[in-house]
Amino acid sequence: MQKIFASLITIGDELLIGQTIDTNSAWMAQELNDAGIWVQRRVAVGDDRAAILRALAEEGAASHIVLITGGLGPTADDITKPVLCEYFGAKLVLNEAALENVKHIFSRHGVAMPERNTEQAMVPDTAAIIQNGRGTAPGMWFEKNGTIYVSMPGVPHEMKGMMTGHVVPQLRQRFTTPALLHHTLITSGQGESFVADRLKDFEAGLPAHIRLAYLPSYGLLKLRLTTFAADQAAAEADMNAAFTQLKTILADISVAGRDEPMGVIVGDLLKARGLTLGTAESCTGGKIASQVTAVAGSSAYFKGSVVSYANETKMNLLGVQAATLEQYGAVSEETVREMAEGALKVLHTDCVIAVSGIMGPDGGSPEKPVGTVWIAAGGKNSIRTTRYHFRYDRERNTDMTCVAALNELRKWLEY
């Protein structure tokens, strides 16, 4: 069965200068993968006619499907539609349904529609129009030389509505795709090269249609198995067998058998055990709590956080002893244990995470260099403490501390 390939083109100078992060491509790739369509290329181009035309030609020659986002707004810097007209030999015409949609949106908000927004209802006459149920700019579906091109707004909420409501269902109808499956194992505690040595025989014995990828990030290593296969049932059976073997080999360092953020993994454990959580954070400034509460439904198990950045806050709110801070310092096993014990009392939770560290770039010493972090995780009957040494910049040290702290709680909950 033929593989179906897609390319993603994102348009906008703001993407190239780093002012806006491209989250659209990652989301679209996941949706296409679920439909059995493999994204083989992602291209970002600026608001430049020649660059857009070149990207359309190159990606159209390489893929069956080209999805484009961005540049459909009502201002002069939004040039996608004129360039699409040039590429597809079209002219702009007024689409009455699109105009009514624009008028309805402004009317719904009690605002007079600016004349320039009428331009958003002007569309290439060679395109099939995808009405925008979440915004003013319609999407456009083109076909040229056997390739499907779909242009959508860059606003994520609007693009997602078009993708789920129209684009993906239409692509599923158009193409018969092979089974495209991913299984991901998250591990912690060993580096990529060490794990690769452990998996040398396993990787050599994989069926030809299954590939293993190593994806290191922030103190974790994700191992992803991927398969393309014509037979869905056979592919699932082979994948399940391989994934079971992978988990068995790496049982000592496994974190989770699914690709989810640590906040989700820990939250699921707390819900399953009927336990509540609080955090006492110094160096992470509330970021652990933010990751926990980013999960819908976290109010069922998360009670709150004490961000005790200053020593006086550690003493006044968490009951850390002045003598402890004077003798051992804020970044110490003794202090982080007292922070955890204080948080359990103040927040009235079943379990707790406490962290204190030196994120950098300053503040280190020979005894406690930048990147030194103490983490406490546990509950009323037992609290485990662990020291970490991270070696990166302030932002990455903070992110790695959050992941490590949540993983320490996971280990406490599981063992």
What is the model's pLDDT at position 104? 85
Question: Kindly report the CA angle at 401 between 250 and 22, in degrees rounded to 5?
Answer: 90
What is the model's pLDDT at position 75? 79
Q: Read off the tokens for 268.
A: 């699921």
Reduced to 3 states (helix: H, G, I; strand: E, B; else coil), residue 388 is strand
Q: How confident is the chain (415 residues) per 10-residue block, as mean pLDDT? A: 91 94 95 94 96 98 97 85 97 91 85 82 95 92 97 96 97 90 95 96 95 93 92 90 98 96 98 98 98 98 98 98 98 98 98 98 95 97 97 95 98 94
Q: Domains along the chain?
A: 4-174 (3.40.980.10), 179-256 (3.30.70.2860), 262-414 (3.90.950.20)
Q: Please state, in angstroms and rounded to a whole number, the distance separating the CA atoms of residues 38 and 336.
A: 47
Strand partners, 123: 93
DSSP 79-111: -HHHHHHHHHT--EEE-HHHHHHHHHHHHHTT-
Question: Kindly report the CA angle at 415 between 400 and 401, in degrees rounded to 5?
Answer: 10
Residues 6+ apart with CB under 8 A from 295: 261, 263, 264, 267
Q: Read off the tokens for 227.
A: 């398969």
Cβ 99 vs Cβ 56: under 8 Å: no
Q: To 10 degrees, what angle do helices 262-273 and 394-414 make?
A: 30
Residue 212: alpha-carbon gap to chain centroid: 20
What is the model's pLDDT at position 1? 64
Cβ 146 vs Cβ 110: under 8 Å: no
Is this model's pTM higher than 0.95 or not?
no
